[in-house]
Structures are given as structure tokens and as C-alpha cells.
Amino acid sequence: MKYFPLIGACVVALCSTGCLDMSIPDVTVEESASCRAGYKSIVLADGESCPADETCELLDEDLGLWCMKIKIAEGGDGLNCPAGSITVSPSQQEYCVLDENREPNDDQFLCTEGNVSGRYCREVPAESEASSVVVLEGQRCTASQMTPPANTLRIHVIDVGQGDAIWIQTPTQQNILIDGGDGGAFGKTSAGPIIADYLEFHDFPRGSAFDAVFLSHPHSDHYGGLPNLFASYNLKNYIDPMELDTGENVSSSYKSWISMVRGKLDESHLYMPAQEKFAPGEKMPADFFGPDVSATFLTSNKEIGKGSSANPNDASIIFRIDYAGRSFLFTGDATSEQEGIVVAQSPDLLPVNFLKVCHHGSTTSSSPVFLESIWPESIPRDDRGAFISSGRAQYSGAYLPNETIVSRLKTFINDDMLFATSAGDENKSESDAYRDDNILIVIDGAGNYYACYSGTN
């Protein structure tokens, strides 16, 4: 949810899950008095108390001024959007199509002007869609699976809600992080503390150093949690698709993150832009993953365009790792265009066992030709797996992962080898749909493996 103060002490919630369904009293308040994010000001006369079904906080006793927690509804006559619509948050406005005569693609939605200056609304379905991936019998980790030996390759897909955060532990004790979820602004999930809690629970305490940190591309649900996380963790090498001094159409918060990285590392450990540091098919330094795990760069893009044509997803780094005869492809939010480039450029590097599904299972990605290249007949069906990192955020009026993509994946892999951090989250809001569907993949030195949901932390 996104909260923005308006004139006076009223607060309007601008969010991706609903508009306000409550009226806000016309209250004149001293400028120094204001409610915290997510609350609006109300006046209670002497003897009145907070309504039983509301949550209130005292703001100014002399004025009888209180703060009431804002309720969010799916549609309703809110201050910004009409019934059946929800507010488009600033971070999502890049997905807006304002021309009614233009058909949005699968990664966009048609927007109309809202009642609050500079804000937009979009229609939502009357009912939430059920999760397209469910937890099957036998997919939850056993007690012994939860504590794999240290001499294995362990890949943790951390459930940070909408976004990506993947932690890799190698048999020689290297630690690698790919992305860091969102930053918690405007009601989004704050991934930094979630990741830190997960790391500590799995014996990687604050103050530890990552051998390599990859940012797949400059979208907030991939880098937003990193500043918080790296206030208490360290990093040795950083890999990013963008220019170190980028002139691209990227956010100020991303640029602030890069400034933070530059304060921690000298430029010899900054692999930016990735496409100029590694050629397609080139092995990445052993310092990243250690001597037993081979890491191969496939592609990325330092240019994402300008204005409305800018799409940071197109920058996504794609790379693979290999260990004990098993392989894993990491893809960020790569689009079908990038997938096609890799298919044409490095076809021999695409057959892999395990795939981190592109773009949270969106229809912008996972093209048939790409999946056919990932899982040709030479990769036995029983040795294939797909892993989706997704929250309950809506795109194009539907939740991710998209049912079409899930069905497409199931034509290539067995149902019990498809995992998603959104599994079973259909009855949860975005703010409640994280931490509970972490995924663990373990490969031992003989190439034996398992994958399972490891639960909360």
C-alpha cells in the first residue's frame, strides 16, 4: 500500500490493492500534527472513543485529535478511484496505457485519471484469482531436508512477496545473492529484514560477507531491499547490467543504491555493465562461486530506452551455474526478446535441469521456443524443475504467475517439480503473502538433488 499526505492532516492511501472506502472528516489541524503513514486524522469529542471495529492512536489530546487506521477495499467510492477500480501506485505507472484506443499488452493495464492530481486508476476483476501453483503432497521439506550438509550446493528462493531474492551456498562455502526484493516504500513488502531474518535462521549472521551480489536489473522489486540488507551485511563483488554512471531512465532510489555500493567496493570489484565485463559463454571468476561450481554468463543489456519505452526488464542478466552434472539457469525478468537472443546466440548453453522462471511467471516471457531450448529431449523429464518468485501483486488485472505460463511449464516438467513463492496465497493480501513459501533446492557431490518448500524462515 502506498500512503501520501494531502493538505491538512488527511492521508490518502494510493495502493495496488484497493482504494479507500471511508469518508474523511474535514478537520483543520496544526501543521505540526500529522498521522503516520496508513492512518488518517479524526476528531473525537469528549467522551467518545474509537469505534470498536477500528484502530486508533491519540495524536493531540488538547484538540481531541486521533489517527484512525485507513481501511482498504477492493474498489468502493474512494477519494481517488471509482467503484471497481484501484489506484495505480507511482512505481506501477510505467505499466499504464492512457490511450483507450490502444490495446495493453500482457504486462500493461489501461489507466484513467483519478480524482487525486497525478494519480491514476485501473479496473480490477470482481474476485481474486486462485493461486495457479499449489503445494502438492510431498513438496514440503522433511526435518532432515531442512538441514542439508555443508558440502552441498544449496539454492534458497526466499519468499519476499512480489520480487526476487535468491541465496546460493556453495560446497566450498561461497555465498551469493541474486536480487533483494522490494524496499518497503509505499506499502510494498520490505524485503531487507525478511532476507536478513532468513539468513540468520540459516546460520549466516549479520556482519557476514557475500562473495558476489547480482542485481538482475534495476526494478525496485529486485533492488529495493538491498540497501537495508547491506546496512548489516558486506559484499565482496557486485554484478549489475547497467553502466556505473548510468544515464538511463532509472529511478533515483536505484542510483542511491549504486552510490552505496561504490562506498563499499572499489571499481575492480564492480562488474558494471555486465555485458562489457563478460562475453556470452564466458566463465565468471571463481571468486564468485568457488572452484567446484562453474558459472557462465549468457547475456544482459545496459540500455533500457527512454521515457515510456524504457523497460528495465530488458536489461536482465541471464547466467547459468553447473555443479555435479546438474545445471541451473537464472533469468531475472528477461522478456521473450531476450530469451530469443539467448536461443540464437548460445543454444548449446541453454539445456539445463532447473529454471528460475522469467519475470515472475508473466506472459511477457517463457516463450515456447525458449522452454523447448531449456528442456530438449536430452534433459530427462524427471530431472527438470521450475521455480517462480512471485507475490500477490496484480498486473493486467490478474495475479502472477499467469495460468497460461503455468500450464505451459507443466507440458515440460512434472507437477511436483514446479514451485512458486506465491503457492496457496489466494486468500492473502500482498502484505501477508510472504515468508511462508520459501523454496530450497539441494544438490550433492554425486548429482543427487531434491527441491522442497522449507516453510517460514
Per-residue pLDDT tens over the stretch 166-205: 999 999 999 999 999 998 876 678 899 999 999 998 999 9
User: Which amino acid appears at position 304 of this protein?
Assistant: I
Contact 11, 5 (CB under 8 A): yes
Residues in the chain: 457
Q: What percent of the chain stands above pLDDT 90?
A: 54
Residues 6+ apart with CB under 8 A from 301: 241, 275, 314, 315, 316, 338
- Could you tell me the CA-to-CA distances from 306 to 123, 221, 303 in Å, in that order? 27, 20, 9
Least confidently predicted of 5-14, 335-344, 360-369: 5-14
Residue 42 CA, distance from chain mean position: 35
Q: How far apart are CA 30 and CA 247, in angstroms?
A: 42
Which DSSP string corresponds to 60-97? ETTTTEEEEEPPEESSSS-SSS-TTEEEEPGGGGGGEE
Q: How far apart are CA 263 and CA 255, in angstroms?
A: 13
Strands (E), 240-388: 270-271, 294-299, 318-323, 326-330, 354-356, 385-388
Contact 121, 110 (CB under 8 A): no
- Dihedral class, residue 167 (left if φ above 0, else alpha if ψ from -120 to 50, else beta): beta
The reported pLDDT for the residue numbered 212 is: 98
What pLDDT, in 10s, does the model give residues 40-69? Answer: 677 887 778 888 777 888 887 777 788 877
Record the cell numbers describing residue 321, joined without a space.
551455474
Contact 112, 425 (CB under 8 A): no
Dihedrals φ, ψ of 340, to 5°?
Answer: -65, -35
- Is residue 341's pLDDT more than 50? yes
Contact 66, 27 (CB under 8 A): no
- Could you tell me the CA-to-CA distances from 121 to 19, 24, 37, 76, 259 in Å, in that order? 9, 20, 21, 12, 34
Contact 365, 390 (CB under 8 A): no
What pLDDT, in 10s, does the model give residues 134-177? Answer: 888 999 999 899 889 999 999 999 999 889 999 999 999 999 99
The reported pLDDT for the residue numbered 124 is: 59
Closest CA to 20 of 34, 36, 38, 37: 38
Beta bridge partners of 167: 156, 177
What pLDDT, in 10s, does the model give residues 208-223? Answer: 999 999 999 999 999 9
Least confidently predicted of 80-89, 236-245, 273-282: 80-89
Beta bridge partners of 420: 388
Fold (topology level) of 153-455: Metallo-beta-lactamase; Chain A (3.60.15)
- Is residue 332's pLDDT more than 70? yes
Q: How far apart are CA 379 and CA 414, in angstroms?
A: 13
The reported pLDDT for the residue numbered 9 is: 34
Q: Where do the domains of the chain lie?
A: 2-123, 153-455
- Could you tell me the CA-to-CA distances from 401 to 102, 150, 164, 170 in Å, in that order? 24, 32, 13, 29
Contact 315, 241 (CB under 8 A): yes
Q: What is the mean pLDDT of the chain?
A: 83
The reported pLDDT for the residue numbered 38 is: 53
Give the pLDDT mean for 286-300: 97
Give the pLDDT mean for 307-317: 82
The reported pLDDT for the residue numbered 192 is: 92
Residues 6+ apart with CB under 8 A from 16: 1, 2, 86, 87, 88, 89, 92, 187, 393, 394, 430
Is 382 strand, coil or helix? helix
Contact 11, 35 (CB under 8 A): yes
The reported pLDDT for the residue numbered 51 is: 80
- Is residue 84's pLDDT more than 80? no
Record the cell numbers describing residue 298, joined without a space.
549468457
- Is residue 349's pLDDT more than 60? yes
- Is residue 345's pLDDT more than 90? yes
- Is residue 73's pLDDT more than 60? no
